[in-house]
Structure 1
Amino acid sequence: MTDTVRLNDEIKNSGLKKGWIAAELSLSSYGFRRKINNENQFKAGEIKELCRLLKITSRKKKDEIFFVDNVD
């Protein structure tokens, strides 16, 4: 599962707009929102590109955001 709070914080801190990020991932804004909210899962390539866009280089940080067992 994706840690929605942490991912939203990363996006906010990056200064990038969600609509722009969605387009870069070849997703609609609606589809991107569904993935952020764990209604659908991110594909491996989307995670890789999202990390590049958000400048997430730490594997630990990536795992904490995208591969959480349980999110409150």
Structure 2
Amino acid sequence: MTNTVLLKDLIAKKGLKMKFVANHLGLSAYGFQLKISNKQEFKTSEVSALCDLLGIRSLREKEEIFFVKQMI
């Protein structure tokens, strides 16, 4: 499960637009929205591309954003 708030905040802090990020990943804006809102999961290659684009280097930060356990 993706931490939507952290991911959106990081994209905004980098000054990027959602559509640009979607295109960078080879996704439509709608497809990216489905993934960022946890209706579909990011592929490993997409997580890797996002980490490169957003400058995410630490394993802790990757886990906080992309591998959040679902709250029940």
Amino acid at match of 1:44: T
Shift of 1:71: 5.1
CA contact (8 A) 1:4 1:36 kept: yes
TM-score by length of 1: 0.95
CA contact (8 A) 1:35 1:41 kept: yes
Shift of 1:10: 0.6
Match of 2:25 in 1: 25
TM-score by length of 2: 0.95
Over 3 Å counting, the alpha-carbon distance change for 1:69 and 1:21 in structure 2 is: same
Structure 2, unaligned runs of 5 or more: none
Structure 1, unaligned runs of 5 or more: none
> CA–CA distance in 1 between the matches of 2:63 and 2:57?
11
> CA–CA distance in 2 between the matches of 1:7 and 1:71?
17
> CA–CA distance in 2 between the matches of 1:14 and 1:2?
18
1:13 equivalent to 2:13? Answer yes
Moved over 3 A (4+): none
> CA–CA distance in 2 between the matches of 1:20 and 1:4?
17
CA RMSD of superposed structures (Å): 1.3
Over 3 Å counting, the alpha-carbon distance change for 1:20 and 1:71 in structure 2 is: farther
